[in-house]
Structure 1
Amino acid sequence: MQAEYYLYSSEGCHLCEQALQMCNPFIANGKLSVIDIVEQEELVEQYGVHIPVLERLDNGEKLYWPFTPHQINELITEWN
């Protein structure tokens, strides 16, 4: 199964850890992949000061931190 959502994150980011906890159910089913931005320079430039960022790949819609579990559910409506 290919990921339908990305969570842009970075190791050691305490806000990213909070976002990961909220997204764990969606990561477990394989539709959400965590992308460490440090591995790609263009992602550092794009998201470095904004992480964590949750992106829906089919339409490019993004949630920038801070976001809530309710906002995640609204973005990921087909999982409800």
Structure 2
Amino acid sequence: MSKSSTGLSLTLYTGPHCELCEHAQAVYEQLSPKNTVLHKVNIRDHSDLYHLYALRIPVLKRSDTGAELGWPFDIDMLEQFLA
């Protein structure tokens, strides 16, 4: 799965009541990257994801390359990640 018809698909791995996750989403929304679709996934809903990301959230993952961008990140880092 690479780019969808609407653009690049990104997954934001989050957790319940995760303030850092809210900050990460705000950075994404501030950049408002064109041709991207953001899917939020609560790692608590998937035991395999919980074990993989529990200490790392928030994490953005690209669907086309599998590359991950972990918190903390800023707009410049996000732009480079999406390039």
- The TM-score range, normalised by the shorter chain, is 0.7 to 0.9
Give the corresponding residue for 1:62: 68
- 8 Å Cα contact 1:15-1:52 kept in structure 2: yes
Q: What is the aligned length?
A: 76
> Runs of 5+ in structure 2 lacking a partner?
1-5
Q: 1:16, 1:44 → 2: CA distance?
A: 15
Q: TM-score, normalised by structure 2?
A: 0.79
> Runs of 5+ in structure 1 lacking a partner?
none
- 8 Å Cα contact 1:9-1:37 kept in structure 2: yes
Q: TM-score, normalised by structure 1?
A: 0.81
Give the corresponding residue for 2:27: 22
Moved over 2 A (4+): none
Which string of whole-angstrom CA distances, capped at 9 and with x for unpartnered residues, describes residues 19-58 of structure 1?
Answer: 01111234x9661111111110100000000000011111
- Name the structure, 1 or 2, with higher relative contact order (CA <8 Å, separation 6+): 2
- Write the letter of the residue equivalent to 1:64: G
- Write the letter of the residue equivalent to 1:66: P
Alignment of 1:32-47 (within 5 A): 32-47=38-53
SS in 2 for 1:34: strand
- From the superposition, tell whether residues 10 and 34 of structure 1 become closer, same or farther in structure 2 (CA, over 3 Å): same
Structure number with higher helix proportion = 1
Structure number with higher strand proportion = 2
Q: Identical aligned pairs, as a percentage?
A: 30
